[in-house]
Amino acid sequence: MGAAEERMQAFARAWYERGTGAPGLRMDAADGPGLALTRVWGPNGIRVAPSPSVDRADRPAGVHISLIVEGGGEVVLDEGVLEATPNSVLLLDARVPARIDYRRPTVSYTWSFDAAVLEHRWVRERINEVVPVRESVWTPARALANSLIEGDPAVLGAAGVRRASELLLEGIVEHCAPRVRTRSADQVYAEAIPVIEARHRDPAFSAAVLARELLVCPRMLAEAFAFLGRTPAEEIETRRAGTLRRRIGLRRRGPADFARLAEECGYATREQAALTLSRSAS
């Protein structure tokens, strides 16, 4: 097996995905107990598509922590889209299918930890979140990653190397991430409902905005709504649809009238409102 093929397989193992690629993609990787490191240079971007044949329950638990040095783009999750920008760190749940769609020339470093890292609060509270990080702060993490990828493979298996990576990334995230308030899921839900009621008519209002206003991480917000069997985004959409139905009433509405009501109820377009009403009625 050639070096290029070995790097490709290491990269695939690190992401637990197939469909990785973009023309000219260069990947370097290193593996150790509970930790895999991947460095990627994509002159034409990076694409990672989840394998539809792999069930979420079959994916190993863990977390991908990705540093975007240059480029970036969209990370598409079931509950929404994260915008990966230069000088940012993303914390992604390894079990959640994610489509990576970086259209710009991109340099990224990814630390893929096993489930043990989920014991740390700084990880749990930032899952599926983008943290802006200044270059002066992330430079030591890049230097450590480069030394481990380019150095003796045995070093990554040494005791303490994984922990050193955890501590360095913890320092970066804790230093740069917005503060969050720790409280129970019931408390978060109780605080979220009046905010949704007051803000759902604003087209710019979203689950991400709600999380920022409540000073909670997206994961905690999702857990607060889990007992309903829907996501915070679906709850916002349900409120918008209910308000729109009440405004429409029993009268037949023309296209212009419907578009006006849809906008007043928080929809960006008439088509989006019609799709939501059709979906909720089925």
CATH topology for 3-176 is Jelly Rolls (2.60.120)
Sign of torsion over alpha carbons 76, 78, 81, 86: negative
Question: Facing residues of 93 across strands?
Answer: 63
Sign of torsion over alpha carbons 146, 147, 148, 154: positive
d(CA 131, CA 10): 26
**Contact, 70 vs 86, CB < 8 A?**
yes
Among 128, 220, 126, 136, smallest CA distance to 170 is for 126
pLDDT for res 53: 60
Per-residue pLDDT tens listing for the chain (282 residues): 444 345 445 444 444 444 455 678 888 989 888 899 999 999 988 888 776 666 666 778 899 999 999 999 999 887 778 889 999 999 998 888 888 999 899 999 999 999 999 888 888 878 888 888 989 999 999 999 999 999 888 888 887 889 999 999 999 988 887 666 667 888 899 999 999 999 999 988 998 889 888 888 777 888 899 888 889 999 999 999 889 888 887 677 778 888 888 888 898 888 888 888 777 665
**Contact, 65 vs 39, CB < 8 A?**
no
E strand or H helix at 38: strand 35-42
Alpha-helical regions (H) of 151-217: 153-156, 161-176, 185-199, 207-214
**Contact, 159 vs 32, CB < 8 A?**
no
CATH number of 185-281: 1.10.10.60
Domain boundaries, the chain: 3-176, 185-281
Contacts of 25 (CB under 8 A, 6+ apart): 40, 41, 42, 43, 44, 46
pTM here is 0.65
